[in-house]
Amino acid sequence: MNIGVINESGKIENRTGLTPSSVSLLVENGHTIYVQAGAGLKAGYTNEEYTSQGANIVFTKDEVFGRSDIVLNISPLNEEECKLVKKNQILFGFHHLAVAPKSLVACLLKKGVNVIGYEIIQQDNNVLPFIESLSEIAGQMCLAISGQYLQTSQGGRGVIMGGVASVPPATAVIIGSGVLARSAIKALLGAGAHTIALGRYMDRLRELEEMTSGRLITLIASKYNLARMTKVADILIGAVLLPGERAPVMITKDMVKSMKKGSLIIDLAIDQGGCIETSRLTTLEQPTYVEEGVIHYCVPNITSSVSRTSTKVLSNSVTPYLISIGEAGIEEALKQDDSLARGVYVYNGNIVKKTIAERFDFPYKELFSS
């Protein structure tokens, strides 16, 4: 198959679809790889590194879409990119259709394509392999982000994470109990922060307590508890994820108003609409804004700031799926692999995710109707 990697730098995205290492594996398996010139530069990979492993460098996005059976994207496609899509093409990447403009979804349906979302590929044990890998990175990044924006020079409260003799540590409140929350908890507890996690499932909260040997404080994420904990938080991290759906709003504007001035919100659910009412999209160039006296960090592609590590993780994760599709074809690969099938938003121009069809009032069709 012909596999294309687009240059996404115009969308303030530093990651890219494949590493040269993955290119070499795919070429060995008989695939032809087209990489748009400069696609890997922000992740530290030159055009020459790709060509040395057998990739073909092309110079426009039109060429990538025009020559490829599968196109890999990291950030969701925009309207201009959608116009370049061709019939029966496989679009493989982060799409977040639950929060996409209706016009873009309509464009994809009209094109008769196949859309597979990294964010909803789910294994039989409920693990989301792409999300889990990036969540480990994002969780660790919360420590660096908190350390920076709590500083007085950044408008923060002027506190350090772990405290010192006679001075208590910062209080970190994490909303969520999944992989993203777990990674953030590990990082913040390791730095000495007083850490509280709120989740909806007792079994997950119990696992978090066991993982941290009881050092973590856990609470059920009721409105009552959420309102109480936002008042004491120096750092509030939204880590709520519903695969393929818009994130639920857990923290209201009134709760944000009650927070300490100069405290910090990191909404890690912003890719899927955000779980905090006052959240709105920011960028790596302008990552924060202040509302109700609280600093908000709402960058959707947070792991893009560590682009090389993130690119390796994503490339390693997608390569086996690409090899599988190449060997069996898209239809047979989906029938053989339930995890891949769960990642399909659109198949042959039909929405096969019921929640997406209902959200946009489009017809729904089962992936493989009997």
Domain boundaries, the chain: 2-120+306-360, 132-300
Mean pLDDT for 239-267 is: 94
Q: Is 31 a catalytic residue?
A: no
The predicted structure's pLDDT at residue 268: 94
Q: Distance between CA atoms of 24 and 49, rounded to whole angstroms?
A: 10
Q: Is 124 a catalytic residue?
A: no
How, if at all, do strands 294-297 and 90-93 pair?
Answer: unpaired
pLDDT at residue 370 greater than cutoff 60: no
> Tokens 């959608």 map to which residue?
82
The predicted structure's pLDDT at residue 241: 82
The predicted structure's pLDDT at residue 243: 79
CB 235, CB 172: distance < 8 Å: yes
Mean pLDDT for 214-237 is: 97
Catalytic residue, from 234, 271, 296, 337: name it. Answer: 271
The predicted structure's pLDDT at residue 222: 97
The predicted structure's pLDDT at residue 340: 96
Catalytic residue, from 96, 194, 234, 267: name it. Answer: 96
Range with the largest mean pLDDT of 38-42, 180-184, 239-243, 298-302? 38-42
Q: Based on the number of CB atoms within 10 Å of its own CB, is 154 exposed (0-12), middle (13-18) or buried (19 or more)?
A: middle
Q: Which of the pair, 370 or 66, is modelled with greater confidence?
A: 66
Mean pLDDT for 275-284 is: 95
> Tokens 């209080």 map to which residue?
171
Q: Which of the pair, 21 or 99, is modelled with greater confidence?
A: 21
Lowest mean pLDDT among 24-33, 63-72, 94-103: 94-103
Quick: pLDDT tens for 168-224.
999 999 999 988 899 999 999 999 999 999 999 999 999 999 999 999 999 999 999
Topology alike, domains 2-120+306-360 and 132-300? yes
The predicted structure's pLDDT at residue 255: 98
Q: Which CATH superfamily groups domain 132-300? A: NAD(P)-binding Rossmann-like Domain (3.40.50.720)
The predicted structure's pLDDT at residue 368: 86
Quick: pLDDT tens for 317-335.
999 999 999 999 999 999 9
Mean pLDDT for 71-91 is: 95
In our burial notation (b when 16+ CB lie closer than 10 A, e otherwise), range 56-93 reads ebbeebebbbebbbbbbbbbbbeeebbebbeeebbbbb
What count of other Cβ atoms lies within 10 Å of the Cβ of residue 363? 8
CB 139, CB 145: distance < 8 Å: no
pLDDT over 70, % of the chain: 99
**What is the pLDDT of the chain when averaged over all its residues?**
95
Q: Which two tokens mark 296?
A: 């908000």
Mean pLDDT for 63-76 is: 96
* Bridge partners of residue 117, in order along the sequence: 93
Residues near 169 by beta carbon (within 8 Å), at least 6 away in sequence: 160, 161, 162, 163, 192, 193, 194
Q: Which of the pair, 339 or 245, is modelled with greater confidence?
A: 339
Q: Distance between CA atoms of 244 and 253, rounded to whole angstroms?
A: 25
The predicted structure's pLDDT at residue 57: 98
H/E element, 47: helix 47-51
Q: What's the pLDDT band for 139 if we cut at 50, 70, 90?
A: confident
Mean pLDDT for 130-147 is: 91
The predicted structure's pLDDT at residue 9: 81
Q: What is the CATH number of domain 2-120+306-360?
A: 3.40.50.720
pTM listed for this prediction: 0.87
